[in-house]
Chain A
Amino acid sequence: MGAQLRVYKRRIRSVTATKKITKAMEMIAASRVVKAQRKVAASTPYATELTRAVTAVGTGSNTRHPLTTEAETPTRAAVLLLTSDRGLAGAFNSNAIKAAEQLTARLEAEGKEVDTYIVGRRGLAHYNFRERKVVESWSGFTDEPTYADAKKVAGPLIEAIEKETAEGGVDELHIVYTEFVSMMTQSAVDGRLLPLRLEEVAEEVAPKGEILPLFDFEPSAEDVLDALLPRYVESRIYNAMLQSAASKHAATRRAMKSATDNAGDLINTLSRLANAARQAEITQEISEIVGGSAALADASAGSDR
């Protein structure tokens, strides 16, 4: 076999191996998207019921709470950024980080100091590399977040917002995550989680002007709200984490699909080149044989004379 042909053959083998790997990763991601979507759906009843309950307290009483009270001059805001632990997901992480940076710039333009909290190794690595300050970060569960993980993340954030701003607390909490719109579309979104606008929550539950009944609160409206709001925040963070996980798997699936397709194209091109090289080799061999025998014939014809 000629040297050229051998090189092509070797490259085809290596690309085929890579294609097998990316194909497997694509399938795994596809099955994980479905699983993650199912988890989002499973967490929906709790979230809806909780939202209803929050609305009931919000509209049924005039209770004030630190988590619903807007500071007159907010000076510090917390931004929670949800990224993934692993890459190979196309622009998934960079989109989320970009959205967080835009939000940070906007908040800073409004004259607020920004504290950054990060979930996922990718986001943390991005911030560490640029030597930006991160208040707290979590990782290790972004592929399959559980409610306990959401609680772990929400704890310090709620603590920070309940603290006085002068003592290092924050006035606002924003969250940046990747919304799972569909299998093909995922978009990085940011939203303000706290202080909670009760009117907005109410609209979410009863958009058609449904009137909620007057509730009897047990033990009291304040106590119920006290217990309810942190759970509400946790459930929102949990939902965002689940959506982010589903989006990550969908992005991985898409990235791996295009990698597999590209590998297929590459194999086609390389096979054509290898075939051409083989043909060239054969042609050369034939012309060598023909040339050689012609020379022999010439030589023997000369000696006869």
Chain B
Amino acid sequence: MAAELHVELVAADRSVWSGEATLVVARTTSGDIGVMPGHQPLLGVLESGPVTIRTSDGGTVVAAVHGGFISFADDKLSLLAEIAELSDEIDVQRAERALERAKSDADASAERRADVRLRAVSAH
């Protein structure tokens, strides 16, 4: 059996996803990082962006995280984010509308949030 790591993706007010995975790719402030089982203990600051989880049954889970942390130790990986959404929870039309609105209002943080959501959907 291939080595696995246990992933917990938690938002501030709920647990978003948890399960076994073979690879997790996330974007930290100093660049993309891929974590596989047996990685060195790691604690990093995440950028807003899509996180890709390759589950051990061959599927892929993509989630949009808005800031947060990645921590890995003993083959247990936690992704902490204030806001996190799975790509299939994201309402594309709504995100597109939000992006338009944010652009016209010149609201940089809302624009970034909507953009992250759309990127997570397209990465799926």
- Mark A residues whose CB is within 8 Å of B: 39, 42-43, 45-46, 49-50, 52-53, 56-57, 146-147, 151, 212-219, 223-224, 227-228, 231, 234-235, 238
Given known contacts A45-B15, A53-B43, A147-B82, A215 and B73 CB-to-CB distance under 8 angstroms: yes
What does the 1/0 interface line of B4-47 toward A look like (CB < 8 Å)?
A: 00001011111100000000000011100100000011111100
Contacts between the two chains (Cβ within 8 Å), count: 88
Complex Cα distance A133/B14, Å?
A: 37
The 5 A-B residue pairs whose C-beta atoms are closest, nearest first, are: A218-B44, A147-B12, A213-B41, A219-B30, A215-B43
Assess whether A219 is in contact with B45, with CB atoms less than 8 Å apart. yes
Complex Cα distance A42/B14, Å?
A: 5
On chain B, the residues within 8 Å of A42 by CB distance are 13-15
Q: How large is the interface on B (under 10, 10 to 19, 20 to 34, 35 or more residues)?
A: 20 to 34
On chain B, the residues within 8 Å of A217 by CB distance are 42-44
Contacting A238 at CB < 8 Å: which of B12, B28, B74?
B12
On chain B, the residues within 8 Å of A235 by CB distance are 12
Complex Cα distance A212/B74, Å?
A: 10
Complex Cα distance A43/B82, Å?
A: 11
Contacting A227 at CB < 8 Å: which of B14, B69, B71, B78?
B69
Complex Cα distance A304/B102, Å?
A: 109
B99 on the A face (CB < 8 A):
no
On chain A, the residues within 8 Å of B69 by CB distance are 50, 53, 224, 227-228, 231
Residue on B nearest A223 in the bound complex, by CB = B45
Assess whether B43 is in contact with A56, with CB atoms less than 8 Å apart. yes
Assess whether A146 is in contact with B13, with CB atoms less than 8 Å apart. yes
Residue on B nearest A220 in the bound complex, by CB = B30
Complex Cα distance A218/B80, Å?
A: 15
On chain B, the residues within 8 Å of A57 by CB distance are 43
Assess whether B40 is in contact with A45, with CB atoms less than 8 Å apart. no
23 residue pairs A–B, Cβ–Cβ below 8 Å:
A45-B15, A46-B11, A46-B13, A46-B80, A52-B71, A52-B78, A53-B71, A53-B80, A56-B41, A147-B12, A213-B73, A215-B73, A216-B41, A217-B43, A218-B30, A219-B30, A219-B44, A223-B29, A223-B45, A224-B44, A227-B69, A228-B45, A234-B12
On chain B, the residues within 8 Å of A147 by CB distance are 12-13, 82
